[in-house]
Structures are given as structure tokens and as C-alpha cells.
Amino acid sequence: MKDLDNKDYGLIRVAAVTPRVYLADPVRNTAEIIRLAEEAATKEASVVVFPELCTTGYTCADLFSQKQLLDAAEKAVADIAGAALPAGMLVAVGAPVRCAGRLYNCAILIKGGKILGIVPKIYLPNHAEFYEARWFESGATVDKEIVYAGQTTRLSVRQLFSVGKAVIGVEICQDLWVPVPPCTYAALAGANLILNLSASNEALLKNDYRKQLVASTAARLFAGYVYCSCGYGESTTDLVWGGSSLICESSALLAENERFLRTSSAIYADVDVERLDTLRAKTPNFKDAVSRRADAYSIVAGGDAFPTDFSRCLLRKVEAHPFVPQGAELAARCKEILDIQVLGLCTRLEHIGCKKAVIGISGGLDSTLALLVSVLAFDKLGLDRKGVIGITMPGFGTSSRTKSNAEVLMEKLGITSRQISIVPSVTQHLGDIGHSLDNHDTTYENAQARERTQILMDVAGQEGGIVVGTGDLSELALGWCTYNGDHMSMYGVNASVPKTLVRALVAFAASEHFDGAQDVLSDIVDTPISPELLPTAADGSIAQVTEDLVGPYELHDFFLYNIMRWGYTPEKVLFLAKKAFAGIYGEDVIAKWLKTFCKRFFSQQFKRSCMPDGPKVGSVSLSPRGDWRMPSDAYSSIWM
């Protein structure tokens, strides 16, 4: 096994640090900033963000016109740059900066003892609460090389800073609250991580809006966003500063500071810039939005990031079941997906003037979900449930448990129920082609699957109906279906629903829509997943368990989500899976089934190239007409 240690996996550790403020005392502020930066180094952070004007305090008011304070702030920056901080760590601090007789509210970026650049604030508040324009100038047009804190550097908003794989854009407080904030142009110029040095006071309901603003901005830009605001020690003459700090990655809130503390505090998070870059590449409209102004940005090379040991300590939660959220969100997700599936089937039935739906009912999860969706669609259309024709087709491997559950479920739902055994027809067919019934190979299994599909298609022709497909997204990814057998239908309602979510949807539908069938639906949820194509055990129970053959579906759905949604390499997927399934599966087991997934995903594309129509329900879909277009002859070598 290849060594996976000491890699960044496209991650960068960031920190938002709120120091206890000593108003108009840069000496004490500097000592606290350096202490907190050193503490962040022990946490292996690569980017450490401090609040707006943290070297002096934000609420100094007319003291900003005093040379004594400005000189002390400049010396503070020099002292921070001269501190013995790790070369791989970038520190962003706020300070007032003089240039050509004007004063700017600035973010100063320091790394390895060097001031990489100074970014001024553009939008200055000038209203009842704040009077920044009384002391500062907007930095919208300034672009100068200056000497500050003993170093020659550039003062301009049109600069970005690279640290490792992160490209960093900077804005200051009010810059975010305008219709088109500077971070928009920075992101279009390539910034995937935005830093906001802020001084945002507290007011009733303001924190909720601030969180929405930061999260929505990060989502709109497909960026990481580090928002750091000042706290205790600022003047409370008229306002209170709670130290609100947030770290977002796209729409996800990774970390949030506890407000109203009387001490310094810090939050940390690992931002996946590789994921963000993938999202941008997959979103054509993002690329289309690149403006002429974005071309004016230059990138200051900041060198390598801190060598954070993510294998030892990862500060982000890795969801083992990314398709299945936890808590209250699960019910909302299930309702939304069922609504999409039902409306999709309604539209197809109504468009073709069809009042009959034929479904093969096995007593398993997939066919159960397809049946429930069909019944709900008929209810929505005001059609008689008897128009849903459920057919059980017992074969050589049908267990008494699944057969009984299928029959009971159809009865309780009030649909038309038929039973057609495939044993005689498959026995004759295998005899016709000279295949022994004792040879339980792929031909033996596929003959059963194709016979069932033929029955469904022919009954649909008799009834003037359509065959509703039952196969799910996980089976399509693995090619775990028989070509022109269960692979085929006239509308596949489960085509973009992964196996781990199917179980949740059936359980949700049972509780929300089908109270009278709860007992049988609960048993179906608990039944082992099986195609039931091999003879049953001596006691009539299921002998062929899918997950023993192809691997755990929870692993395959994890692989599917992270490879298809984010474009992660198998190496990164293995790293994340080890975190997500620690204590459940060992690394060798995960690696074994990951190889299986990659091999099958490539070799089975030909089945997906001609898959039937079906509604897209989530962010991952394998439809060849939209989301996933792949040659059937691609090699999997580099993924193995």
C-alpha cells in the first residue's frame, strides 16, 4: 500500500483569531497577536487571519489622526514580521497605513518575515454608527509601491497571494456588504480563499444575517471564506463588539466562534481548495462570468503552506454517508426526493396518455421504492391504484421472506397483483441453449433477469402501460445489473437514487404516506440486499447476499459521491474513507473495494450509455444525456 502520510490532499488549514484588544496600545496588541500566531503554529495553520485594525483597535476614532499612534502601528507590523513564526504560515493583520498624505485602512499579509502585500479597504462606512471616511480614504484606485515597516511592498486591492494550493483574495469588513464586493473580482481572477478582516458590531438579528451573507458569498464564488471580527477591548461607548468569526467552504459553515468572550479566541478549519477548484471547473457559468477587471489582478507568490499533518489530525468532518443526512434534514431531503420522483413519473404518464404502470415486485428495497413512487404518482394524477400492476416472478433463488413481503405489500397498497413463475420458461430456455441447471454461472443468473424483463415488457404491451424501472444509482455505477434485463425499462424512477438513500426513502414513505403498510415496509428495509438469482439455502432463506459479492454499498456510495461530485483521486478517497469509517473497516478492506469500484465503474459504462430516462434528484447523476458522458472504452489504469 502506497504511503498516504504527509500529504495535503488539496487541503489548507486556516484560522480566524480574535485577540483581546488593548485600545490605542499597539505594543500590547502586538504581543498578543504574536502569542496567538505562535499558538496557531502549534495547531499547524497555514493561514491566520486577525481582525480589522487589530494592531491599534478599531474604535480609536480621532486618534487615527495622531502620528504617535500611526508610527506605533507601523512598528507593530515590523515586530510581527520579525517574530519567529513558521515560514509556511501566512498572517493577515489590520493596520492604518499612510501613503502620499493619505491614510488607508489596510490588511497586511506577512509570511516568512516578508510583507507580501498591503490591501486597502474600498468601501468605507459613513453613517450613524461608523464614520470611517472621517479618517480613512477608499483604496479603490491606489496602486503604489511603498516602503512600510522597513520593507518595500505594494499597496493595492488588485493583488492575490498564493500559499500552497490556495490563492488568496482579501477584503475588509464593509467591502463584503456592498452589491458587488471586491471578493467577486478576486474570485474571478483565481482566488479560491477569501480573507475578511472585519470589525462588525453586534445588534439584534445581525449575526444571523452576517452568517447568511458569508455563507452565500462563499457559495456563490465556490470559495473558502475566513471572516474574522474584533471583540473584547474595543470601545463600547455606543456599540458592542462580540468577536464574530466564521469559516465557510462554499455554502458549508466549517467553524464559528463563540461570541461575547472576555478573552482572546480562535477557530480553525481545513478548507478543501481542490474541491472548490473542481466545482468551478464543473460550472460553466462561473467561467463565463470572468470580467475584464479580473485581468488586472496579479498573484504574489507566497511559497509553500505549512506542512500540516492531515493524516494525524483532520479538522473537518468526513460524512460516511454523504447521500443520507442526519437529523431533521433527512426528512426534508426524503420529502424533496420523493416529490421529484413522483412528479417525474406523473409528467411521463400524462405526456404519453398512459394510465397503467407495470412493475416487477421482488420484495426488495429498489422495487419497493419504485412501487411506492408509482402509487403516489397515481394518487397525484387522480388515477385508480389498480392501474399499477405489480408482478412477482419467483425463480430459483426467491426466498419465502421476499415473496411473502411482495404479496403483502401489493395487497395493502390496493394495486393489481399478479404472480408469474419464471422457473418453467427459464428451465426450457437453458435447455434450449444446452446450459445445465446445475451450472450457476452468469448465464444462469442473467437468463432469469432477462426473462423477468421480457414478462414485464409484454404485460405492459398487453395493458397499454409502461414498465417502471427499479434499478438505482449505485447499481448503475457498479454495472450491477443485467444488460437488457433489469437494466432496461421505460422510465427509471430510481436512476439517480443511491442504495444508501433508498432505504431511508422507503422508511420515510412508510411513516409519511403508508401507515397501513408500516410492518411489511419495515421488514423490507431490514431484508439483506440480494438479486436472488442463485438457489436459496436449505431453510428457504436468502443465500446470495449482494454486499458479500460486490462490497458494502455504504463504501461504494462513499466512493461514488467523492469521485463523481468532487473529482477526487482514489488516493484522496482512500484517505477520507479511512477517516469516515475508522473502527468499521480497515484500510485494506477499503482499498480492496475501492479497486473493485474503479474497475467496475470503467468496465460497465456501456450499460449506462443506453440507460432509460429517469429523474435527476441530487448532485450526482450518471445519465448519458446530461451529467455523465464517458466513452465505454476508457481504461481504468491510472485510477487503480
pTM across the whole model: 0.91
Query: What band does 3 get if pLDDT is binned at 50, 70 and 90?
Result: very low
Indicate the Cα dihedral angle 319, 325, 328, 334, nearest 10°. Answer: 180
Q: Give 446-501 pLDDT, tens digit per residue.
A: 999 999 999 999 999 999 999 999 999 999 999 999 999 999 999 999 999 999 99
Q: How many CB atoms lie within 10 A of CB 270?
A: 24
Instruction: State the average pLDDT over residues 625-633.
Output: 91
The answer to whether residue 274 is catalytic is: no
pLDDT value at residue 44: 97
Largest CA distance in the chain: 100
CA distance 371 to 465: 15
pLDDT value at residue 1: 37
Q: How many CB atoms lie within 10 A of CB 380?
A: 14
Helix ranges restricted to H, 382-469: 400-413, 423-432, 442-463
Instruction: State the average pLDDT over residues 60-89.
Output: 97
Residues 6+ apart with CB under 8 A from 611: 476, 487, 492, 495, 622, 623, 624
Catalytic residue chosen out of the listed positions 99, 106, 173, 183: 173
pLDDT value at residue 601: 96
Quote the cell numbers at residue 522: 419495515
Which three-class secondary structure string do you get for 236-296?
CCCCCCCCCEEEEECCEEEEECCCCCCCCEEEEEEEEHHHHHHHHHCCHHHHHCCCHHHHH
Query: What band does 295 get if pLDDT is binned at 50, 70 and 90?
Result: low
H or E element that contains 144: strand 143-148
Catalytic residue chosen out of the listed positions 32, 44, 52, 137: 52
Q: Give all domains of the chain, ordered by start, each with its CATH number.
A: 11-301 (3.60.110.10), 330-546+609-617 (3.40.50.620)
pLDDT value at residue 531: 76
Residues 6+ apart with CB under 8 A from 359: 367, 370, 371, 374, 388, 389, 390, 391, 456, 467, 468, 470
Q: Is 451 strand, coil or helix?
A: helix
Q: Give 385-443 pLDDT, tens digit per residue.
A: 999 999 999 999 889 899 999 999 999 999 999 999 999 999 999 999 999 999 999 99
Query: What band does 7 get if pLDDT is binned at 50, 70 and 90?
Result: confident
pLDDT value at residue 291: 58
Catalytic residue chosen out of the listed positions 54, 99, 106, 121: 121
- The dihedral through the CA atoms of 468, 543, 417, 382 has a sign that is negative
pLDDT value at residue 284: 77
Query: What band does 4 get if pLDDT is binned at 50, 70 and 90?
Result: very low
Residues 6+ apart with CB under 8 A from 545: 528, 529, 530
| Alpha-carbon distances of 634 from 290, 565, 598, rounded to whole Å | 33, 19, 12
CA distance 333 to 618: 10
Quote the cell numbers at residue 358: 407495470
Residues 6+ apart with CB under 8 A from 349: 355, 357, 377, 381, 466
Cβ distance 370 to 474 under 8 Å?
Answer: no
pLDDT value at residue 294: 59
The answer to whether residue 173 is catalytic is: yes
Return the closest-CA partner of residue 553 out of 324, 336, 317. Answer: 324
Q: Give 541-563 pLDDT, tens digit per residue.
A: 776 777 788 899 999 999 999 99
pLDDT value at residue 6: 53
Instruction: State the average pLDDT over residues 297-317.
Output: 94
